């Protein structure tokens, strides 16, 4: 086929993800997030649509910048309450065979030794369908919950994450050699101790001594996602990520970002094709353009401006309650909110965006583009985005759950398939094999592969 388009579904173990307010839409099912069947039904649906993965966001704090308190977030269920994303995966894995699962976990949350075991367990139980979205945390409220006075400085968080990953790679790749597990009932030998070695790690942040508690899982290191957009974040992503998740609102900005990160990966000796880049995107589909527009209006009527303001305040670090919603956004330009503001306003640099307009966008679409139309016109748009920017696919947010995904599967995917730009069956194998077609394990010169070589030496 011509250059294929890849799709992930983007969700969160909570009521209001990137369309807060829409949980109150009569057809929305998000309030059922505490039920296993809600997630199992979603997983079956996504597998029917041949999605690469369900990508699960997470936060370790609350959106309390708006008005200096969490009230707006709590009232509108803006990413709070929010449950552990990890635990919904095993039930979804039990009813699917191919769908991948990307779990967001912060390096600020758990010591890498038990964390590495969690990811190995997930990779075992899913038969090699686990992915980890590496985040370093951005909410100050999360730091306070962990007894820290303030967030660690941005660049220091990445240095900490580098050390954290180093521990994980050693545990995943270096501790148990291939062939260590024999599982020979006749001889009564489960594993060969000569092929299992303790990790000895003395890093700037972690000192770890011990063997990995899990035997090697199908992928060893789970597929690595990263979303860093800053300079330091991009270096981190170019070094470690296999899948990059971005929320570029304009084709120009996105094209520059995609080019820069592929170049940076190449400069580190990696094959730029070893990076799959997904852009955040929301699609709203109708059988006619008019029906799609009406659906958008219906959704917008349920979207919450207040919720959008709470999200936007959290992302920018600016308490937007102090301003008139009809103020132009660029007037309240601060250094802290710089990159978030750029990311938004770059969608149309000549437009004077008001706070209200950006909050409405945040409340339906997050920070990514929103395409509204028939399957044909939305397919045109997605193809144009991919062609112009060099992204490999889209991380689809939902407006109404599961309606957004049902619409995509019933209308958009068949259209993309007719155009020969969407897979018509899953490839066999682990998530990594499906994505890259070059085996289950990370390959040199990725830093994880270096650890595996160290073992065979």
Q: Which is nearer to a second copy, 153 or 186 (CB)?
A: 186
Q: 137-176: which residues touch a second copy (CB under 8 A)? A: 141-142, 144-147, 176
Q: Which of 7, 9, 46, 122 binds a second copy (CB under 8 A)?
A: 122
What is the per-residue DSSP string for 223-281? EEEE---SHHHHHHHHHH-SEEEE---SHHHHHHHHHHHHHHHHHTT--GGG-EEEEEE
Q: Which is nearer to a second copy, 89 or 358 (CB)?
A: 89
Rounded to the nearest whole angstrom, what is the least distance from the CB of residue 423 to a second copy in the complex? 25
Q: Do 106 and 137 form a contact (C-beta atoms < 8 A)?
A: yes
Rounded to the nearest whole angstrom, what is the least distance from the CB of residue 308 to a second copy in the complex? 13
Q: Which is nearer to a second copy, 115 or 422 (CB)?
A: 115
Q: Which of 75, 273, 287, 330 binds a second copy (CB under 8 A)?
A: 75
Q: Which is nearer to a second copy, 40 or 235 (CB)?
A: 40
Q: Which of 9, 11, 88, 379 binds a second copy (CB under 8 A)?
A: 88
Q: 20-39: which residues touch a second copy (CB under 8 A)? A: 21, 23-26, 31, 34-37
Judged by CB under 8 A, does residue 301 bind a second copy? no
Binding region for a second copy (CB under 8 A) out of 14-22, 265-273, 289-297, 340-348: 14-22
Judged by CB under 8 A, does residue 44 bind a second copy? no
Least Cα distance to 303 among 380, 198, 379, 400 occurs for 400
Judged by CB under 8 A, does residue 113 bind a second copy? yes
Q: Which two structure tokens, joined as six digits, stand for 216?
A: 């090697």
> What is each CA distance from 236 to 59, 166, 450, in whole angstroms?
20, 13, 17
Rounded to the nearest whole angstrom, what is the least distance from the CB of residue 252 to a second copy in the complex? 36
Q: Which is nearer to a second copy, 98 or 446 (CB)?
A: 98
Q: Which is nearer to a second copy, 175 or 345 (CB)?
A: 175
Q: Which of 41, 74, 390, 450 binds a second copy (CB under 8 A)?
A: 74
Judged by CB under 8 A, does residue 188 bind a second copy? yes
Binding residue numbers for FMN: 58, 104, 154, 158, 230
Q: Which is nearer to a second copy, 53 or 77 (CB)?
A: 77
Distance, in Å, from the CA atom of 291 to the CA atom of 50, rounded to the nearest integer, reads 26
CA angle 74, 369, 153 (to 5 degrees): 60
Q: 220-279: which residues touch a second copy (CB under 8 A)? A: none
What are the residues whose beta carbons fall under 8 Å from the beta carbon of 399, sequence distance 6 or more? Answer: 19, 22, 282, 284, 299, 364
Rounded to the nearest whole angstrom, what is the least distance from the CB of residue 297 to a second copy in the complex? 17
Q: How far from the centroid of its chain's Cα atoms is residue 309's Cα?
A: 22
Q: Which two structure tokens, joined as six digits, stand for 398?
A: 């939902």
Q: Do 204 and 426 form a contact (C-beta atoms < 8 A)?
A: no
Distance, in Å, from the CA atom of 33 to the CA atom of 83, rounded to the nearest integer, reads 9
Distance, in Å, from the CA atom of 36 to the CA atom of 38, rounded to the nearest integer, reads 5
Q: Which of 48, 152, 163, 211 binds a second copy (CB under 8 A)?
A: 211
Q: Which of 11, 42, 46, 62 binds a second copy (CB under 8 A)?
A: 62
Distance, in Å, from the CA atom of 368 to the CA atom of 343, rounded to the nearest integer, reads 9
Q: Which residue has the tokens 């155009």?
A: 419
Q: Which is nearer to a second copy, 210 or 445 (CB)?
A: 210
Binding region for a second copy (CB under 8 A) out of 60-68, 222-230, 328-336, 399-407: 60-68
Q: Which is nearer to a second copy, 113 or 257 (CB)?
A: 113
- Helices 154-169 and 112-125, interaxial angle, to 10°? 60
Q: Which of 44, 68, 204, 213 binds a second copy (CB under 8 A)?
A: 213
Q: Would residue 204 be called left, alpha or beta, if left means φ above 0 and alpha means ψ between -120 and 50 degrees?
A: alpha
CA angle 204, 136, 70 (to 5 degrees): 135
Task: Determine phi and psi for 107, rounding to 5 degrees.
Answer: -70, -10
Q: 302-341: which residues touch a second copy (CB under 8 A)? A: 302, 304
Q: Which two structure tokens, joined as six digits, stand for 59?
A: 């936060």
Q: Which of 5, 9, 60, 151 binds a second copy (CB under 8 A)?
A: 60
Q: 412-431: which residues touch a second copy (CB under 8 A)? A: none
Q: Which of 45, 86, 261, 358 binds a second copy (CB under 8 A)?
A: 86
Distance, in Å, from the CA atom of 356 to the CA atom of 327, rounded to the nearest integer, reads 8
Q: Which two structure tokens, joined as six digits, stand for 379?
A: 């397919």
Q: Which of 29, 48, 125, 339 binds a second copy (CB under 8 A)?
A: 125
Rounded to the nearest whole angstrom, what is the least distance from the CB of residue 197 to a second copy in the complex? 10
């Amino acid at each position: 086929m011509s250059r294929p388009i890849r799709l992930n579904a983007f969700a969160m173990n909570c009521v209001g993800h990137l369309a807060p307010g829409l949980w109150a839409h009569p057809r929305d099912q998000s309030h059922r997030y505490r039920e296993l069947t809600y997630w199992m039904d979603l997983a079956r649906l996504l597998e029917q649509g041949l999605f690469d993965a369900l990508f699960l966001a997470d936060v370790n704090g609350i959106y309390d910048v708006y008005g200096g308190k969490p009230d707006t977030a709590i009232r509108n269920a803006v990413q709070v309450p929010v449950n552990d994303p990890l635990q919904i995966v095993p039930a979804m894995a039990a009813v699917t065979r191919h769908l991948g699962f990307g779990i967001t976990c912060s390096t600020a949350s758990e010591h890498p030794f038990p964390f590495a075991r969690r990811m190995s367990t997930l990779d075992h139980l899913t038969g090699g369908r686990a992915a980890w979205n590496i985040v370093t945390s951005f909410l100050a409220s999360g730091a306070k919950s962990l007894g820290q006075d303030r967030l660690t400085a941005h660049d220091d968080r990445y240095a900490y994450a580098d050390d954290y990953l180093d521990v994980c790679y050693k545990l995943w790749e270096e501790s148990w050699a291939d062939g260590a597990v024999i599982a020979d009932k006749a001889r009564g030998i489960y594993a060969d101790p000569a092929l299992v070695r303790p990790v000895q790690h003395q890093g700037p942040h972690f000192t770890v001594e011990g063997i990995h508690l899990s035997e090697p899982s199908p992928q060893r290191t789970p597929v690595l996602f990263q979303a860093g957009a800053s300079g330091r974040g991009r270096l981190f992503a170019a070094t470690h990520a296999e899948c990059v998740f971005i929320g570029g609102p304009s084709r120009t900005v996105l094209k520059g970002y995609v080019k820069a990160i592929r170049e940076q990966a190449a400069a580190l000796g990696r094959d730029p094709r070893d990076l799959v880049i997904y852009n955040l995107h929301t699609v709203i589909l109708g059988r006619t353009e008019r029906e799609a527009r009406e659906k958008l209006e219906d959704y917008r009527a349920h979207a919450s401006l207040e919720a959008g303001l709470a999200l936007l305040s959290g992302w920018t670090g600016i308490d937007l309650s102090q301003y008139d919603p009809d103020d132009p956004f660029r007037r309240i330009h601060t250094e802290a909110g710089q990159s978030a503001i750029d990311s938004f306003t770059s969608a149309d640099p000549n437009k004077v965006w008001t706070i209200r307009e950006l909050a409405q966008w945040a409340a339906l679409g997050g920070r990514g583009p929103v395409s509204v139309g028939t399957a044909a016109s939305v397919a045109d748009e997605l193809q144009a985005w991919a062609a112009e920017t060099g992204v490999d696919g889209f991380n689809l947010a939902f407006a109404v759950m599961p309606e957004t995904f049902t619409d995509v599967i019933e209308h958009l995917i068949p259209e993309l398939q007719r155009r020969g730009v969407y897979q018509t069956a899953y490839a066999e194998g682990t998530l990594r094999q499906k994505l890259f077609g070059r085996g289950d394990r990370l390959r040199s010169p990725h830093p994880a592969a270096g650890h595996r070589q160290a073992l065979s030496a």
